[in-house]
Structures are given as C-alpha cells and as structure tokens.
Structure 1
C-alpha cells in the first residue's frame, strides 16, 4: 500500500499585487509542515508540484527543512494538472451576470479585495454557480474540464509511483477537493464547498494500490495547531 500526501500550499499574499507568492506567514507554515514530516519519520520517495509559485515555494521550504537536517528529499516533477482553477477568469466572467440578477451583490464585489468576508461571500456564490453549471464561462473553464484534468494528473502520479512508496504532492485547494470529491462521490457543488474548508499547509492523505485510491485523512492541521500561535491557521 502506498500513500499519497496532497499538501495545500502555505498562505499566499492575499490583497497584494502578487498573490501567487507565499506571505511570511505562509513560509512559516511550510517550515512547520516540514518539521512535522521530519519528526514523524516520513521520507518521501517521490515529489510532485503544480507550476504555481506558491505551490513551489511551499515545497521549497519543506525541502530546505529536510536538507538542513542532512536528509534528502527528491526533486519535484512539475505538472499543470496540480494547478488551481483560474478563479480570476471565472470571477471576471460570472460576476457581471450575477450582478444583473442581484444588484445588491455589487456591494460585496466592491469590498472583496479589502475585506476577506466580502471576498469569501462573492467567491462562494460565484464558484457554486460555476460548479453547478448554472452560469458557464466556456469549456476551458468548466468544472468538468478542471476535474478531469486533476483526475488524469493524479492517476498519472499513481501509475508512476513505486509500490509501498510515500509521494508528496504540493498543490492547491481545488485539486485536493476535486480528488476527494471523485473518491467519495460528492457532487460538484459540494466538492467546491469542501475546498473552502482546506487550511493552508494542511495534509490530505490517500492510500493507493493496484491503481485504486481511497481517502485516509482529510485536512490535517494538527501540526499547525500544536505550535500554539495565534493566526497560524488560515484559509486564504
């Protein structure tokens, strides 16, 4: 039996001009994650990452933790199948549609870049509408297209993994939720909603053997909680 560790990136730089970079807190979360893996005696046989900078920076912090301890961690293989969906393109396309249906929605849109609650309210409504298929962008940005890409990517990782191996996969909330949703049979809407529960630098484990995959744990965050630091548990 092999284990697949789907790792969400650390906190990105929300509200700045360069979102796709870890914040200082995000880097700290990644280092805490690396220390946890070391203390747990987990040694990875393979390592994968999406192409997004926040994913790769999280991996880099974890790998540095191993190297500083005198231990090796495999160099990653990159694949865009582990990238997050293009939420900015989806927002740009669907916000105007929803505003026509509900003019009051405009107030939250105007505050979404400065107010995390307003952002989550807008984000949640738009993404639920997108996942349900009620409002569509085009085939390139549809939920089925995204979920299929993730499924193909994860299956490719499984197919290339050695029996009994431990595989680290540094990715984002969308791909993690999509994989959980596929394995457990969740609807698209419930799968997208599940992604909002994922904590930065959390771990979701799957067991796999002979091409079959099952969920072992979801959204592990105890390694962050044990630090006892206020604000270390983040979602955005």
Structure 2
C-alpha cells in the first residue's frame, strides 16, 4: 500500500492585509512539521501543493528542513485542485441572507475580523448553509462542485503515484475535509464540519492501492504539542 499525506498549511496571517501569507507562528509550525518527518524517517517520493501562498510557503519550510538535514525532497507539482474554496465569495453571498433571517447574527458579523470566536461562529454557520445547497445563485459556486474537483484531483495524484510510494500533499482545510468526506461517504454538512477540527500543519493520511482508498489517520498534530502547553496548536 502507498501513503498519501494530506498536510494542512501552517497558520496564516489572520486579520492582516495579506491573509494568504504564513504568520511567524505558521512558519515555525511548518519547520516543526519538517523535523517530525525527518525524525520519523518519512521520505517522500512525490510532492504536490495547491497554488496558494500559504500552502507553498508551508511546503518550502518543510523542504528547507529536509535540505538542511542532507536529504532531498521531490520538486513539487502545483494544481489548483488543492486550493481552498473561495470563502470570501461564500460569505459575501450568504451573510446578508442569514442576517435578514436572523438580525442577531449581525453582531457576530461585525466582530468577526477582530474576534476569532465570532469569526468561527459566523464561518461555521455560513459554510454549513453553503454545504446544504439550499441557496442557488449564479455567482455562488456549489460546495458539491468544489468537493468533486478535489476528489478528482486526489484521484489524479494517486493515479500518477507508484506502488508503495509516499506522497506529500500540501493543501488546506477544505480540500482535506472534502477528500476525507469522499472516502468516508459523508454528507456534505458533516464533511464541511470536519474542516473546523483541522489544526494548522496537521497531517491526515490516506492509504491507497489496488484501486482502493482508505482513511488511515485524521488531523494528527502531536508533533505540535509541547510540555508547556499547546501554544503551537492553532486553527486559523
């Protein structure tokens, strides 16, 4: 069997002008992740990433740790199939609808860019609504289309992988949730909810071979936990 490591990017720059760039903490998480792979003796035969800055920066930090330790890492192949969904468009489309239905929701919306709890509350409600497919708009892409694109992308990566290979995939929470949901046969709303549990720089492993794909582990982040507390464990 082969292993596909779905790696979520490190912490992005929440609340800044360029969210897509890794924060200092995110870069540190990625380096710690690279050290974990080295200690565990995990070496990659193929490497993939999305096109987003935070995904490629995470890959870059891991790759640098490998090179500094005297090990090679394959040149990555980029594919937009591993990119995160356009959450800004989803929020823009659905927040006004939910506010009309529930005026109290406006308070959380007003605080969401300065309060992480408010952001999560708004984000969770909107994304669950989006996944339900109950709102049809010309400028709002469907969750089902996004998930289908991710699934096709993962299957293409697997089809290009040799038997017994170790494959690194640097991506985001949405694609990881979509991939796991597809493998597990989960409903859309449950699949979206998986993404909220995913820790930055966490690992989710899929096993594949003989035409089969199965979930091995989900959201591993023990490499980020330290005796003094979980200061490296972040979700946004």
TM-score range, shorter chain: over 0.9
**Aligned counterpart, 1:58:** 58
Q: Deviations over 1:100-126 (max 9, x none)?
A: 111111111111000001101110110
Q: Which residue of structure 2 lines up, in the alignment, with residue 112 of structure 1?
A: 112
Structure 2: distance between partners of 1:155 and 1:142: 20
Q: Give the structure 1 partner of residue 4 of structure 2.
A: 4
Structure 2 SS opposite 1:134: coil
Question: 2:11 aligned with 1:38, yes or no?
Answer: no
Q: Structure 1 length as normaliser, TM-score?
A: 0.97
- The answer on whether the counterparts of 2:63 and 2:73 sit within 8 Å (CA) in structure 1 is yes
Q: For residues 74-109 of structure 1, what are the alpha-carbon distances to aligned partners after superposition, in whole Å with 9 as ceiling and x for unaligned?
A: 010000000000000000011111111111111111
How much does 1:161 deviate? 0.2
CA separation in 1, counterparts of 2:54 and 2:219? 18
Q: What is the match of residue 23 of structure 1?
A: 23
Q: Structure 1 residues 64 and 44 mapped into 2: Cα distance closer, same or farther (>3 Å)?
A: same
- Between the aligned partners of 2:12 and 2:185, the Cα distance in structure 1 is 30
Q: Is the 8 A contact 2:48 2:168 kept in 1?
A: yes
- After TM superposition, what 4+ stretches of structure 1 lie above 6 angstroms from structure 2? none
Partner SS, residue 208 of structure 1 = strand
Per the TM alignment, residue 227 of structure 1 is displaced from its structure 2 partner at its CA by: 6.4
In the alignment, is the contact (CA less than 8 A) between 2:43 and 2:73 conserved in 1?
yes
| 3-state SS of 1:158 partner | helix
Alignment of 1:146-225 (within 5 A): 146-225=146-225
Cα contact 1:197–1:235 (8 A) shared by 2:
yes
* Inter-partner Cα distance in structure 1 for 2:194 and 2:136: 20
Contact residue 99 and residue 105 of structure 2 kept, 8 A = yes
The secondary structure found in structure 2 opposite 1:141 is: coil
Shift of 1:210: 2.2
1:35 deviation in Å?
A: 0.1
The whole-number CA distance in structure 1 between the counterparts of 2:227 and 2:48 is 27
**Equivalent residues of 2:3, 2:208 under 8 A apart:** yes
Matched length: 236
Q: Please report how far the alpha carbon of residue 212 of structure 1 lies from its aligned counterpart in structure 2 after TM superposition.
A: 1.6
Contact between 2:31 and 2:62, CA under 8 Å: does it hold in 1? yes
User: Which residue is equivalent to 2:91?
Assistant: 91
Query: How far is the alpha carbon of 1:134 from its aligned partner?
Result: 1.8
Is contact 2:177–2:191 with CA below 8 Å preserved after alignment? yes
